[in-house]
Amino acid sequence: MYQYEFAARMVSPPGCKDYSRLTVDTYYFADASILMKVPKGAFQPAPEVDSAVVKLVPRPAPFEVRDEAFFLEFVAAVFSQRRKKLRNSILNTNYMLKIPDVKEVVNQLPEGFMSKRAENLTPEELACVANMIFDLKSR
Protein backbone atom coordinates (compact mmCIF):
# COMPACT_ATOMS: atom_id res chain seq x y z
CA MET A 1 0.00 0.00 0.00
CA TYR A 2 1.27 3.43 -0.99
CA GLN A 3 0.09 7.00 -0.81
CA TYR A 4 -2.33 7.39 -3.75
CA GLU A 5 -0.39 10.20 -5.43
CA PHE A 6 2.79 8.07 -5.36
CA ALA A 7 0.92 5.06 -6.77
CA ALA A 8 -0.52 7.21 -9.57
CA ARG A 9 3.01 8.30 -10.51
CA MET A 10 4.09 4.64 -10.67
CA VAL A 11 1.54 3.80 -13.38
CA SER A 12 1.08 7.08 -15.26
CA PRO A 13 1.25 7.10 -19.09
CA PRO A 14 3.64 9.44 -20.98
CA GLY A 15 2.35 12.97 -21.42
CA CYS A 16 0.43 13.05 -18.12
CA LYS A 17 1.45 15.33 -15.27
CA ASP A 18 2.18 12.30 -13.05
CA TYR A 19 4.56 10.69 -15.59
CA SER A 20 8.03 10.80 -14.07
CA ARG A 21 11.32 9.12 -13.39
CA LEU A 22 9.43 6.88 -10.96
CA THR A 23 7.12 5.74 -13.77
CA VAL A 24 9.99 4.84 -16.10
CA ASP A 25 12.03 3.10 -13.40
CA THR A 26 9.01 1.12 -12.20
CA TYR A 27 8.13 0.07 -15.75
CA TYR A 28 11.73 -1.02 -16.36
CA PHE A 29 11.68 -3.44 -13.41
CA ALA A 30 8.06 -4.58 -13.01
CA ASP A 31 4.48 -4.57 -14.17
CA ALA A 32 2.56 -2.22 -11.89
CA SER A 33 -1.14 -1.67 -11.47
CA ILE A 34 -3.37 0.00 -8.91
CA LEU A 35 -5.72 -2.63 -7.55
CA MET A 36 -7.82 -0.32 -5.42
CA LYS A 37 -7.92 3.16 -3.96
CA VAL A 38 -8.31 3.23 -0.18
CA PRO A 39 -9.94 6.38 1.20
CA LYS A 40 -8.31 8.07 4.16
CA GLY A 41 -11.51 7.46 6.15
CA ALA A 42 -10.75 3.72 6.13
CA PHE A 43 -8.01 4.28 8.72
CA GLN A 44 -8.23 5.23 12.38
CA PRO A 45 -6.93 7.83 12.97
CA ALA A 46 -7.49 9.07 9.42
CA PRO A 47 -4.34 10.18 7.61
CA GLU A 48 -4.25 13.36 5.50
CA VAL A 49 -4.19 11.48 2.18
CA ASP A 50 -5.81 8.57 0.34
CA SER A 51 -3.89 5.35 -0.21
CA ALA A 52 -3.77 2.71 -2.94
CA VAL A 53 -3.05 -0.98 -3.06
CA VAL A 54 -0.50 -1.53 -5.81
CA LYS A 55 0.35 -4.82 -7.48
CA LEU A 56 4.01 -5.02 -8.53
CA VAL A 57 5.13 -8.07 -10.49
CA PRO A 58 8.89 -8.19 -11.09
CA ARG A 59 9.88 -9.19 -14.61
CA PRO A 60 12.77 -8.81 -17.04
CA ALA A 61 12.96 -5.41 -18.72
CA PRO A 62 10.58 -5.22 -21.73
CA PHE A 63 13.19 -3.35 -23.79
CA GLU A 64 16.94 -3.52 -24.33
CA VAL A 65 19.24 -1.34 -22.28
CA ARG A 66 22.96 -1.53 -23.10
CA ASP A 67 24.07 -0.28 -19.68
CA GLU A 68 21.54 -0.30 -16.84
CA ALA A 69 23.45 2.13 -14.61
CA PHE A 70 23.77 4.66 -17.45
CA PHE A 71 20.09 4.26 -18.40
CA LEU A 72 18.90 4.90 -14.84
CA GLU A 73 21.23 7.91 -14.51
CA PHE A 74 20.04 9.22 -17.89
CA VAL A 75 16.39 8.95 -16.82
CA ALA A 76 17.18 10.75 -13.54
CA ALA A 77 19.03 13.49 -15.43
CA VAL A 78 16.42 14.21 -18.10
CA PHE A 79 13.53 14.18 -15.62
CA SER A 80 15.40 16.58 -13.34
CA GLN A 81 14.72 19.12 -16.11
CA ARG A 82 11.45 17.70 -17.40
CA ARG A 83 10.18 20.97 -18.91
CA LYS A 84 13.23 21.36 -21.13
CA LYS A 85 13.52 19.67 -24.50
CA LEU A 86 15.73 16.60 -24.41
CA ARG A 87 18.62 18.36 -26.21
CA ASN A 88 18.88 21.08 -23.54
CA SER A 89 18.18 18.67 -20.72
CA ILE A 90 21.12 16.47 -21.73
CA LEU A 91 23.43 19.46 -22.19
CA ASN A 92 22.41 20.96 -18.83
CA THR A 93 22.79 17.70 -16.87
CA ASN A 94 26.04 16.47 -18.37
CA TYR A 95 27.64 16.88 -14.93
CA MET A 96 25.51 13.82 -14.04
CA LEU A 97 25.94 11.91 -17.29
CA LYS A 98 29.66 12.61 -17.90
CA ILE A 99 29.43 12.37 -21.70
CA PRO A 100 32.70 13.33 -23.39
CA ASP A 101 32.13 15.84 -26.23
CA VAL A 102 28.47 16.12 -25.19
CA LYS A 103 27.59 18.73 -27.85
CA GLU A 104 28.95 16.53 -30.61
CA VAL A 105 27.07 13.50 -29.25
CA VAL A 106 23.78 15.40 -28.94
CA ASN A 107 24.10 16.68 -32.51
CA GLN A 108 24.29 13.08 -33.74
CA LEU A 109 21.02 12.08 -32.09
CA PRO A 110 17.72 12.08 -34.05
CA GLU A 111 15.90 15.41 -33.99
CA GLY A 112 12.63 13.53 -33.46
CA PHE A 113 13.82 12.71 -29.94
CA MET A 114 15.86 15.83 -29.20
CA SER A 115 12.95 18.21 -29.84
CA LYS A 116 10.66 16.45 -27.33
CA ARG A 117 10.53 16.64 -23.56
CA ALA A 118 11.32 13.60 -21.39
CA GLU A 119 7.73 13.61 -20.14
CA ASN A 120 6.51 13.00 -23.71
CA LEU A 121 8.77 10.02 -24.46
CA THR A 122 7.89 6.42 -23.64
CA PRO A 123 10.27 4.34 -21.52
CA GLU A 124 11.25 2.48 -24.70
CA GLU A 125 12.10 5.75 -26.46
CA LEU A 126 14.14 6.93 -23.48
CA ALA A 127 16.02 3.62 -23.55
CA CYS A 128 16.65 4.06 -27.27
CA VAL A 129 18.19 7.51 -26.70
CA ALA A 130 20.23 6.26 -23.72
CA ASN A 131 21.53 3.35 -25.84
CA MET A 132 22.51 5.71 -28.67
CA ILE A 133 24.36 8.00 -26.25
CA PHE A 134 26.05 5.04 -24.57
CA ASP A 135 27.22 3.72 -27.95
CA LEU A 136 28.48 7.14 -29.07
CA LYS A 137 30.31 7.87 -25.81
CA SER A 138 31.89 4.40 -25.81
CA ARG A 139 33.65 4.95 -29.13
For 51-79, the pLDDT digits (tens) are 999 999 999 999 999 999 999 999 999 99
Facing residues of 30 across strands?
58
Domains of the chain: 2-58 (no CATH), 68-137 (1.10.8)
Side-chain half-sphere of 38: how many Cα atoms within 13 Å? 15
pLDDT of 75-113, one tens digit each? 999 999 988 999 999 999 999 999 999 999 999 999 999
| Global model pTM greater than 0.85 | yes
Q: Is 132 annotated for ligand binding? A: no
Look over the chain and give the mean of its residue pLDDT values, rounded to a whole number. Answer: 96
